[in-house]
């Protein structure tokens, strides 16, 4: 619940009175955050805010890993991944993220899309 409240608070703080109609999150499979719990909490914390009624989309990227023993790179959704060679000496380099990818909104000036500062493409 606290994570979802923080996400909603961040969006409201950034966009003010703009009416939000869509929120897209990226929750990595290794992040420890349960997307269904975020969806449930989103429905509880958005009423009375500018996000009330907004659609919530969640992308769930897999983790990227490399075995330190054999050098094999692989993708995983396991929090404690094992390499096919049997080694647990694995470096995880992705799938742990939790971020707001973009937010669709309507303001007095029209419709917009707020994106993170490091997102590719026109902003």
**pTM attached to this predicted model:** 0.79
Distance of CA 13 to the CA centre of its chain: 18
Q: Which of 95, 113, 103, 96 is nearest to 9 (CA)?
A: 103
pLDDT category at 112 given cuts 50, 70, 90 is low
Mean pLDDT of the chain: 90
* Alpha-carbon gap, residue 34 to 17, rounded angstroms: 29
């Amino acid at each position: 619940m606290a994570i979802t409240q923080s996400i909603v608070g961040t969006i409201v703080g950034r966009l003010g009175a703009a009416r939000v109609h869509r929120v897209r999150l990226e929750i990595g499979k290794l992040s420890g955050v349960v997307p269904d719990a975020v969806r449930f909490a989103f429905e509880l914390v958005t009423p009375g805010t500018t996000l009330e009624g907004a659609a919530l989309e969640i992308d769930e990227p897999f983790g990227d890993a490399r075995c330190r023993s054999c050098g094999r790179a692989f993708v995983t959704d396991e929090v404690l991944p094992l390499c096919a060679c049997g080694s647990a000496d694995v470096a995880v380099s992705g799938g742990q993220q939790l971020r707001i990818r973009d937010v669709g909104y309507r303001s007095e000036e029209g419709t917009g899309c707020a994106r993170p500062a490091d997102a590719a493409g026109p902003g």
